[in-house]
């Protein structure tokens, strides 16, 4: 670690990077019962910490290497760092980015003067293509995380935290993708303050460091399972050098869901009035979850807000899921009598709980179904509300954790019933980009009669479809196997949802 400390302290990041503030989070501190400080790397010139490692690496290139030009693969933030460094150093730069990269990052790279090539659906596919171009044209490859000079540049974040913090923090929460930031910060902080915990945070769907530490070796996650919501940290395998350091420096790993990330973005906005990108809010989401799991209070905590490069249209998805992620919204399917006065009586029963959504579906002459979203104070309020409705005689389905209900059915209530026919239901996900829905429909083929189809582009990284397929009487199992084999062949992520309670209540 001493070697890295020397490299970190001699890094040339401040030719272009700023020393960002360590800001107290008043509302988070009060909620968690600890002193929470935010390291505001979203305030860098490219709105991300990545400028540090990129510039340090490129400033140390030889004159011959600078003359050749550089290439990199990136989910967006490292690309902006390389593009800015190239402009300042007078170096030609070619950036390979996945086609799922937010447009705001692509445009920013082009505005900085770099040439952009879009390839693949994630960082790893883009990186493989960049390596091919290195072999063809001889560019100097600037790795986004697995390079000692890049790691050293990112480590300057740790130097600033330790010099700015009034005393030594008990724990620093670091977002993890390929591991460069965690390795750099961990190497410096553990050398200076071995008792300060370094806790890495990953998205559930791209937890390659968590998998590597559990297996005691680097693990490659399948590309088709990678979560793309937190695109800045969507990496299939951590770096060789970053893993070597992380094994010595990381005290724990926390994984968080998309809803928990969305809730953390809202928390950051409430405290700072700034909007973090999903990966930028990972550390806060992990800090909240870690404090709840460990029942931690009275601690001095730091969370690194690593970036703010988020497409504006993605805010629709973030705001929609933030309340669920914070467990402040409950989504229920409630059956009420189909007669005069039922609505009024039901509203009196739910009392003063703020209603966020209210959809009605006629079921029969005797009953109707209500899809209702309500604000609650905490998870215990959710369970109390459900029980109070059941005690009042209402059949209740708690759909707060039901993805079909939250993503699709809430926008479909009132559709025509399918009657007595049989159908198989599936939920699909595919990387969202121009033309993705048309490709989905094209490869789905014409082998089945589609009885129901819902797609909504709401700013998420994944296109999401909920569909029904007609099944002839007596052929349910045969058609299920035939359809499953076809879906496996075309390669889409999918889940069978036949019998989902939200469908049974509102769409059948």
Question: Quick check: 244 and 197 in contact, CB under 8 A?
Answer: no
d(CA 34, CA 46): 31
Which one of the listed residues 50, 57, 266, 289 is annotated catalytic? Answer: 50
Determine whether 50 is an active site residue. Answer: yes
d(CA 239, CA 217): 11
Determine whether 345 is an active site residue. Answer: no
d(CA 180, CA 160): 16
Between β-strands 300-305 and 35-40, what pairing exists: parallel, antiparallel or unpaired? parallel
Question: Quick check: 234 and 123 in contact, CB under 8 A?
Answer: yes
Label residues 377-390 b or e (16+ Cβ within 10 Å = b).
eeeebbeebbeebe
Helices within 10-147 (DSSP H only): 26-32, 50-59, 63-68, 77-89, 103-111, 123-137
Which one of the listed residues 48, 197, 306, 406 is annotated catalytic? Answer: 306
CA distances from 149 to 7, 55, 255, 297 (A): 8, 9, 28, 37
Question: Quick check: 492 and 484 in contact, CB under 8 A?
Answer: no
Active-site residue set = 50, 306
């Amino acid at each position: 670690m001493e070697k890295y400390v020397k490299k970190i302290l001699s890094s040339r990041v401040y030719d272009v990077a700023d020393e960002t503030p360590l800001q107290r989070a008043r509302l988070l501190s009060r909620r968690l019962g600890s002193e929470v400080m935010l390291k505001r790397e979203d305030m860098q010139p490219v709105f991300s910490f990545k400028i540090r490692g990129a510039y340090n690496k490129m400033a140390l290139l030889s004159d011959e290497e600078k003359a050749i030009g550089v290439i990199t693969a990136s989910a967006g933030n490292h690309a902006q760092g390389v593009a800015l460094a190239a402009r300042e150093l007078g170096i030609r730069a070619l950036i390979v980015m996945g086609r799922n990269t937010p447009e705001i990052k692509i445009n920013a790279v082009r505005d900085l003067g770099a040439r952009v090539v879009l390839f693949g659906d994630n960082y790893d596919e883009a990186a493989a293509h960049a390596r091919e171009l290195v072999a063809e044209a001889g560019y100097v490859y600037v790795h986004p995380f697995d390079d000692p000079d890049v790691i050293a540049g990112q480590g300057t974040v740790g130097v600033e935290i330790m010099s700015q913090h009034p005393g030594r923090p008990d724990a620093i929460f670091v977002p993890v993708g390929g591991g460069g930031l965690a390795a750099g910060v961990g190497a410096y902080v553990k050398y200076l303050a071995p008792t300060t915990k370094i806790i890495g945070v990953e998205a559930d769907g791209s937890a390659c460091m968590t998998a590597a530490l559990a297996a005691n070796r680097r693990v490659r996650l399948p590309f088709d399972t990678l979560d793309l919501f937190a695109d800045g940290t969507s990496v299939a395998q951590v770096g060789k050098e970053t893993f070597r350091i992380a094994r010595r420096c990381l005290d724990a790993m926390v994984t968080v869901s998309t809803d928990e990330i969305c809730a953390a973005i809202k928390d950051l906005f409430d405290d700072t009035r700034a909007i973090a990108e999903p990966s930028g809010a990972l550390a806060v989401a992990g800090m909240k979850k870690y404090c709840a799991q460990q029942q931690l209070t009275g601690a001095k905590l730091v969370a690194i807000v690593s970036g703010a490069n988020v497409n504006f249209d993605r805010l629709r998805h973030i705001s929609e899921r933030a309340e669920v992620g914070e467990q402040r919204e409950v989504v229920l399917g409630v059956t009420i009598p189909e007669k005069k006065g039922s609505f009024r009586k039901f509203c009196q029963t739910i009392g003063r709980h703020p209603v966020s959504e209210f959809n009605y579906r006629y079921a029969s002459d005797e009953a109707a179904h209500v899809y209702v979203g309500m604000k609650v104070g905490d998870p215990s309020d959710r369970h109390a509300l459900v029980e109070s409705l059941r005690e009042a005689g209402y059949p209740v389905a708690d759909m707060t954790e039901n993805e079909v209900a939250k993503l699709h059915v809430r926008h479909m209530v009132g559709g025509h019933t399918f009657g007595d026919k049989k159908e198989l239901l599936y939920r699909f996900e595919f990387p969202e980009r121009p033309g993705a829905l048309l490709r989905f429909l094209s490869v789905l083929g014409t082998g089945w009669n589609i009885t129901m189809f819902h797609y909504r582009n709401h700013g998420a990284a994944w296109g999401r479809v909920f569909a029904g397929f007609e099944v002839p009487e007596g052929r349910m199992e045969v058609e299920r196997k035939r359809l499953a084999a076809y879906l496996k062949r075309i390669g889409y992520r999918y889940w069978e949802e036949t019998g989902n309670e939200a469908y049974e209540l509102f769409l059948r």
